[in-house]
Structure 1
Amino acid sequence: MKIVVEHLRHAYPNGYCALQDVNLTFEGSQPVALIGQNGAGKTTLAKHLNGILRPTSGRILIDGVDVATAQTAQWARKVGYIFQNPDDQLFLDSVRKEFEFGPHQLGVSDEEIEHRTTRIAELVGLEKKLDSHPFDLSPTEKKFCAIGSVLMMNTGALVFDEPTCGQDKIGNDRLAAIISRLKDQGKLCIAISHDMKFVTRNFPRVVLMRKGQVLLAGSREEVFARQEILQKAYVAPPPITRVAQEVGMAKPVFTVEAFTEVIRQAGQKGKERG
């Protein structure tokens, strides 16, 4: 799937301009993270990708077709959107019904829906909760119920709005596994996140936004190497990345293992020169 954003501008009815001349391309299956402070325009941008919001000017092309030419329900078949708050998304009286609703609207066969339900319930950790009411689930389980209901639609791209909000390590690990699975399936995953540890571990591509504009777009290494621009956007790299920068490492590192490997290699080179 290829999503092209051309000169996108969006002004809300109160006159606030949330996006200003945004130009981006999302393509292939490399996961992409949208980062920036509150008010940067991340969610406004994401909601344009399947027609939840419509441009004030500019356009969104999905596989060459302008989103403005079809209804939101039609684009929901191509781009799934998982809201930050699952209470905004869940409305039926069992997890199973939440999972089945979207595919039923698309005319998917009962056999295929059953197959998807089994597979996706296991992926999101709800295989034993299919007959539970979503509002009887824990906050983490509700989040994964919402994720599962969108995964059931089998869209080519998915947008996650703050997926790690309220998650513990187990939840974050499950999210990472889901993102990896989507990539392996050739699906495009776009996430809005303030969690820089999660971003740098799971998203090879990063878009940095501030005040409705794109400041940087590129690999995580390219983006997190630009310390002055990150500071301008009030985004702090993960702690291990900051430590590496403070001790003068030339390239960003995102894990303790990578940090120690750079130190080891530097020590080895020092011994060879000595």
Structure 2
Amino acid sequence: MSQIQLENVDFRYPNGFLANENLNLVIKKGERVAIVGQNGAGKTTAVKLMNGLNKPTNGNVFVNDMNTKDYTTAQVAKYVGYVFQNPDDQIFNQSVYDEIAYMPRYYKKSEKEVKKNVDEAADILNIRTFLKSNPFEIPYTIRKFVTIAAILAIEPQYLILDEPTAGQDLVGTKILSNLLDVLQQKKVGVITITHDMEFVTENFLRVIAMANKHIIADGTAKEIFSRDEIIEESRIKRTDMGIIGAELGLGKDILNPAELVEVLSSRIDVQ
């Protein structure tokens, strides 16, 4: 079955710290899911369980029909790619091309396939002009795109993005939104950890809120951002338009400017 499943999962670090407790979750191939919550909620630990970087202390994690306990991280990562928040934690090659080509070569793809995958990934992220550059000599925002391209090049079934919009400008964020649309067309599942609530509400229908090691809510963006108790416990904030809508008494489920205008227009029409 093509899905990621966490089944009664706990994760405890070697020092004894319990980071995740009783996580139950299913993410199907092709879904776009945002995971939100304050720092320390357990988000990063949870997604690292999905690609085998972490192995559950209790319970089971399945990627398709693979129990991650029975496979190496490299074997699981072929299906679930993970892009680190800080690109400097991931990059180690001396050219952008070699960085993107590294994993396809690791999985024994032909050089023709490698070049095809590198070019396609670079085009999606608009970084083809940097392929001959040293990745440590290009802007931070472009380095982030290099690390995403490096994972895209192995053609994973699921892609995990850790704070992808951090440090990005409007152009970079638009490229990321386009990436999500391309991946949806390819039926690649995307799991994103982010504190950027505007990016969440504009690009994700399904939102998972975490707090204190647990999943506390799993629903649509409107369901999550309209409930005060979820906002308070997960310590996230509404979007700017959501805050304005709530303060004007227009409702707590407004997510973006278009929805705010629509509600205001309907009020004017009624009057």
TM-score by length of 2: 0.96
**Whole-angstrom distance in 1 between the partners of 2:60 and 2:244:** 41
1:211 maps to a residue whose letter is: N
> What residue number does 2:125 align with?
124
In the alignment, is the contact (CA less than 8 A) between 1:3 and 1:26 conserved in 2?
Answer: yes
Deviation (angstroms), 1:130: 0.5
Equivalent residue runs for 1:102-113 within 5 Å: 102-113=103-114
1:43 maps to a residue whose letter is: T
Secondary structure at the aligned position of 2:195 is classed as coil
Deviation (angstroms), 1:114: 1.4
- Root mean square deviation of aligned Cα: 1.2
Equivalent residue runs for 1:232-243 within 5 Å: 232-243=233-244
Secondary structure at the aligned position of 1:5 is classed as strand
Equivalent residue runs for 1:71-220 within 5 Å: 71-220=72-221
**Whole-angstrom distance in 1 between the partners of 2:64 and 2:250:** 40
* Unmatched runs of 5 consecutive residues or more in structure 2: none
Deviation (angstroms), 1:197: 0.7
In the alignment, is the contact (CA less than 8 A) between 2:61 and 2:68 conserved in 1?
Answer: yes
> What residue number does 2:227 align with?
226
1:44 maps to a residue whose letter is: T
Deviation (angstroms), 1:119: 1.8
In the alignment, is the contact (CA less than 8 A) between 1:30 and 1:204 conserved in 2?
Answer: no
Deviation (angstroms), 1:16: 1.2
Deviation (angstroms), 1:51: 0.5
Secondary structure at the aligned position of 2:34 is classed as strand
**Whole-angstrom distance in 1 between the partners of 2:96 and 2:246:** 46
In the alignment, is the contact (CA less than 8 A) between 1:206 and 1:218 conserved in 2?
Answer: yes
In the alignment, is the contact (CA less than 8 A) between 2:117 and 2:154 conserved in 1?
Answer: no
TM-score by length of 1: 0.95
**Whole-angstrom distance in 2 between the partners of 1:28 and 1:75:** 15
**Whole-angstrom distance in 2 between the partners of 1:160 and 1:198:** 13
CA deviations 1:163-201 (Å, max 9, x no partner) are: 111111111111111111111110000000011111111
Deviation (angstroms), 1:215: 0.7
Secondary structure at the aligned position of 1:172 is classed as helix
**Whole-angstrom distance in 2 between the partners of 1:17 and 1:221:** 31
Secondary structure at the aligned position of 2:131 is classed as coil
Percent identity over paired residues:
34
> What residue number does 2:263 align with?
262
CA deviations 1:235-268 (Å, max 9, x no partner) are: 1111101221233334612211211012112322
In the alignment, is the contact (CA less than 8 A) between 2:38 and 2:236 conserved in 1?
Answer: yes
> What residue number does 1:27 align with?
28
In the alignment, is the contact (CA less than 8 A) between 2:33 and 2:207 conserved in 1?
Answer: yes
1:117 maps to a residue whose letter is: V
